[in-house]
Amino acid sequence: MRIAVISDTHLERPTAWFEAFYEAELAPMDLLLHCGDYAAPAMYHYLLQHPGFHGVLGNSDPWTMHGELPWRATVQAGDLVLGLAHGHAELAGDPARVLDAFGGGVDVVCFGHTHRFLCQTMRGVLVVNPGSLCASRSGRRSYAVLTKTGKRMHVDERRLPGDCWGEAEYP
């Protein structure tokens, strides 16, 4: 099973770059998780085409999206339970606080908000922040791919080339 985790796209609409990126990198995945901050309903609605899409709200998402998405979610993926949150407000982008918000019962927690990639195990739970797809604070745009083979889980940080803001094409 392959799971793409993205966050903090901050795009008003899917650009030519994003559409090509989606087709090449996200569409083939078994699951696609978005940890919030789409920035506009058009981005969320575009991602709904993926049959394994799940997402949550972020602090930059407009009020018009609040009836469509939860602040936190759990997703059953085979024998895995994944927790999904943006990680803002009382969670303050802190991995331990985000993990605590799920109160146990999850194998993996994915969150965004900080715009920085993170992958660590805390209290036996894999905690992943994919970084920001388009608005990095670390100087590198990224997303995560989780690959589960049997009982083994591998997390790959994927760095992104190109300009996601303009009409440039994905390489």
Specify if 7 maps to a domain.
yes
**DSSP code at position 130:** E
pLDDT score of 101 more than 70: yes
Residues with Cβ within 8 Å of residue 171, at least 6 apart in sequence: 161, 162
What is the token pair recorded at 87?
Answer: 């990680």
How far, in Å, are 57, 129, 133, 170 from residue 117 at the CA level? Answer: 19, 5, 10, 21
Report the CATH number that the domain containing residue 81 is assigned in CATH.
3.60.21.10
pLDDT exceeds 90 at position 140:
no
pTM of structure: 0.95
Average pLDDT over every residue of 69-88? 96
Measured CA to CA, the distance from residue 108 to residue 97 in angstroms comes to 14
Residue 170 token pair: 């994905």
Residue 123 resides in a domain: yes
- pLDDT band of residue 91 (cuts 50, 70, 90) is confident
**How many CB atoms are closer than 10 A to CB 23?**
11
Domain boundaries, position 72: 2-159
Lowest-pLDDT range, 50-54, 66-70, 91-95, 147-151? 91-95
pLDDT, tens digit, for every residue of 23-44? 999 999 999 999 999 999 999 9
20 CB neighbour count, 10 Å cutoff: 16
Q: Specify if 139 maps to a domain.
A: yes
In a domain, 90, yes or no: yes
Cβ-contact 130, 7 below 8 angstroms: yes
